[in-house]
Structure 1
Amino acid sequence: MGFGGTRRPCCCRRGASPRVGSHAEHGNQEICVPWVRNVRAPGRRGASEAVGSHAEHGNQRSEARSTLTSKPSKKKKAAAAANPNERVITHNRKARHNYTVFDTLECGIMLVGSEVKSLRNGRVSLEEAYARVRDGDVWLIGCDIAEYVEANRFNHNPRRPRKLLLHRRELKRFAQRAHEKGLTLVPLQMHFKRGLAKVVLGICRGKQRHDKREVMKNAQAKRDIQRQMMRRK
């Protein structure tokens, strides 16, 4: 009898080995062995289909997660390809709009451990920051580096003055120009270079209103020219 009460055919053979059945006592005795197909047990039915469905759901979840992750912009990709050892932390966006930049210089900065960890998370602002020469050193003032949550009571003051590291020749040149009338030292960018925090300092002069309007007109004209060129292509 098979599954569900159905009869299964038997195939009889002579001279089978005694190990085949318990009734095989003599070599010439006929032994009936039931012929049964490879029937899947009822409890295991659909196991492979279930595994396949779980795999499909897993692939769909991984695809959904990959689509939800933010993709880096083209500018960030180009910057990373140009200099793989340099990672930009933040830009001072208002500096180029409010000031005319005459010269720039990359300098180091003295930080504590919690400040470095906050920089790696990108929690810094240069919008209200400026540099000042004091006692033969250059200090960064007004730079807001947020507190690191896991530092607890060993945290830092977010807006404390921070010393910038320059060579003596660079320090003399910048100090002389900083004392000129109408010029100021403004941080333009902060980035990591080979694991060290760097600040790009600029010698700038504040723009007047008509200067800002002129810059905006020129930028709009450039955008219009680019649009026309793209349409012709």
Structure 2
Amino acid sequence: MPKGEGKLVAQNRKARHDYSIVEAIEAGIVLQGTEIKSIRNARINLKDGYAKIQNGEIFLHNVHISPYEQGNQFNHDPLRVRKLLMRKKQINKLLAETKTSGYTLIPLKVYIKDGFAKVLIGLAKGKKNYDKREDLKRKDMKRQMDRDLRER
């Protein structure tokens, strides 16, 4: 995460398993009503989320923010599309990357920084099954080596 990070609220653990992350960029989220209260209570799920660039703006899709318990009529749609706040230059760079080389944008983490909800968007390329197996083998070998060193 960027320097001076805040309180981690949610993390997409499956992202690093399914994708190779090339770059990570911080963005703000445009929220409505009681969404920030739900996020502060860690009632957010990034599992199936992705970001999409449309008309020069970037939007977050399939991110579930649960309705706030005390919100009654002021609650929101849990799966609504949310706009992300980024500079135009960053959006254009991401647009060029995603159009040319088969990359996708996925949310990696959501955290509270200086009272504002921020999302860490990863520029990612999907892994093949053999890549995932190779990573698991590498992790197991490293874990075994660490275990052997500790036993000495």
The TM-score with structure 2 as length reference comes to: 0.95
Equivalent residue in structure 2 for 1:203, among 92, 112, 123: 123
1:154-233 residue pairs with structure 2 within 5 A? 154-232=74-152
For residues 148-168 of structure 1, give each alpha carbon's deviation from its aligned partner in whole angstroms, at most 9, with x where no partner exists: 011111110000000000011
The residue aligned with 1:99 is 19
The correspondence for 1:133, drawn from 53, 56, 60, is 53
For 1:175 and 1:89, the matched residues in 2 are separated by 27
2-structure distance, mates of 1:93, 1:229: 28
Larger Rg belongs to: 1
Gaps of 5+ in 1: 1-78
1:122, CA displacement in angstroms? 0.4
Shift of 1:180: 2.2
Alignment-mate amino acid for residue 66 of structure 2: A
Secondary structure of the equivalent of 1:93? coil
Which structure would you say has the larger RCO, counting Cα contacts within 8 Å and 6 or more residues apart?
A: 2
**Greater percentage in strand:** 2
For the residue of structure 2 that corresponds to 1:113, the secondary structure is coil
What are the equivalent positions in structure 2 for 1:115-134 lying under 5 Å apart? 115-134=35-54
2:63 is aligned to: 143
Partner SS for 2:97: helix
After superposition, the CA RMSD in angstroms is: 1.5
Deviations 1:120-147 (A, max 9, x none): 1100000000000001100000000000
Q: CA contact under 8 A between 2:33 and 2:76: conserved in structure 1?
A: no
Post-superposition CA distance 1:172-211 (Å, at most 9, x none): 1111112124210000000011111000001111110100
* Aligned-pair identity (%): 38
Q: Aligned pairs, how many?
A: 151
Structure with the largest fraction of helix: 1
Unaligned runs of at least 5 residues, structure 2: none
Q: C-alpha separation between the residues in 2 aligned to 1:180 and 1:93?
A: 27
1:33-54: CA deviations, max 9, x gaps?
Answer: xxxxxxxxxxxxxxxxxxxxxx
In 2, distance between residues paired with 1:144 and 1:214? 31
Amino acid across the alignment from 1:165? L
**Which consecutive segments of 4 or more residues in structure 1 shift more than 2 A?**
none
Partner SS, residue 34 of structure 2: helix
Contact 2:61 2:79 in 1 (8 A): yes
What secondary structure does 1:179 align onto? helix
**In the alignment, which residue of structure 2 is the partner of 1:110?**
30
Q: Kindly state the Cα deviation for residue 102 of structure 1 after the two structures are TM-superposed.
A: 0.6
Q: In structure 1, the residue corresponding to 2:79 is in which secondary structure?
A: coil
